Amino acid sequence: MPLVSPKEMFAKAYAGGYAIGAFNVNNMEIIQGIMEAGKAENAPLILQVSAGARKYAGQNYIMKLMEAAMQDTDLPVVLHLDHGPNFEMCKAVIDGGFTSVMYDGSHLSYEENIAETKKVVEYAHARGVWVEAELGRLAGVEEDVQSDDHVYTDPEQAKDFVTRTGCDSLAIAIGTSHGAYKFKGEAKLDFARLEKVGQLLPGVPIVLHGASSVPQEFVEMVNKYGGHVPGARGVPEDLLRKAAGMAVCKINIDSDIRLAMTACIRKHLAENPGDFDPRQYLTPARNAVRDMVQRKIKNVLGCSGKA
């Protein structure tokens, strides 16, 4: 089965009140774990590659791994560029076979963001590729850079932005943030803002970045086996489920996969100090990816059986 555009899966998710998980991938084990979960749940999938992941693994390796992954499945799967930093990188992945790109101009001025997003839209649409853009800014860690301030998305501006750029989906800021330290006080999302965006942009799939829920059992496991992630906290799963029932059609998850893999690797090595064959600790790590993705599909996304 070839990779697909997200168009149809988002249309179904929008109408059905559920969301598709977009899981970040960096290597073979993560790709295999996600694919296994998708098959077990018969769920549509988005696998996404950040600029850092592309640099780490290499675009050719990612493409070949995805080719292998798609050889034995009928699941609809999208390959997406996460936080594309410039036109050149968007072009390179489109030319290489990605079916969806995010151009992230959220750090630019409003008019510059529009101009750059439009350029990517023009190139991508001529080749049948989907474009996600971002308006507003999330606090948290991105490409190793920490930003402390949220800039929540203005709903009226979001309408103007989508109209003027022609982008297909929009990432908005309503209180989520990247990384494993999302909330110090009460965890909350601005649902009134999300509702307003949904009213002003009917039919446009909305994207939530920074949507890991940082399950406490994995935080505890990391800390128990020699790690140090005190106070890590994510977005409660019930808030994400509520967003998935609204205009949110794509929910981005990276930190939870990192945390689950690392917890299992730490545990394995602590309990088996003599092991030094990477397969011995990467097998439980790969299973942890599968289990985490299945948990998301069932508890958060609501897309089980929707492939």
**Residues taking part in catalysis:** 82
Helix boundaries (H) for 145-277: 155-165, 191-200, 216-224, 237-244, 255-271
Q: Which one of the spans 48-56, 106-114, 117-125, 165-173 is the region binding ligand G3H (CB under 6 A)? A: 48-56
- The verdict on 266 binding ligand G3H (CB under 6 A) reads no
- Least separation in angstroms between CB 29 and Zn ion: 21
- The verdict on 21 binding ligand 13P (CB under 6 A) reads no
- The verdict on 209 binding Zn ion (CB under 5 A) reads yes
Q: Which one of the spans 90-98, 158-166, 204-212, 234-242 is the region binding Zn ion (CB under 5 A)? A: 204-212
Q: Where do we find the tokens 């992230």?
A: 104
Burial 14-34 (b: 16+ CB within 10 A, else e): beeebbbbbbbbbbbbbbbbb
Among 209, 286, 296, 306, binds ligand 13P (CB under 6 A): 209
Phi, psi of 78 (to 5 degrees): -105, 140
Residues 6+ apart with CB under 8 A from 206: 169, 170, 171, 172, 194, 197, 198, 246, 247, 248, 249, 250
- Least separation in angstroms between CB 22 and ligand 13P: 7
Per-residue x/- marks for ligand 13P, 71-90, CB under 6 A? -----------xx-------
User: What would the two tokens of residue 163 be?
Assistant: 């109209």
The percent helix, strand, coil of the chain (3-state, each to 5) is 50, 15, 35
Among 29, 132, 142, 256, binds ligand G3H (CB under 6 A): 142
Q: How many residues bind ligand 13P (CB under 6 A)?
A: 14
- Least separation in angstroms between CB 210 and ligand G3H: 7
Q: How far is CA 102 from the centre of its chain?
A: 11
Spatial separation of the C-alpha atoms in residues 291 and 155, rounded to whole Å? 36
List residues near ligand G3H by CB under 6 A.
Answer: 24, 50, 52-53, 82-83, 142-143, 178, 254
Judged by the rule CB under 5 A, the positions of this chain that interact with Zn ion are 209
Contacts to ligand 13P by CB under 6 A = 24, 82-83, 178-179, 209-212, 252-256
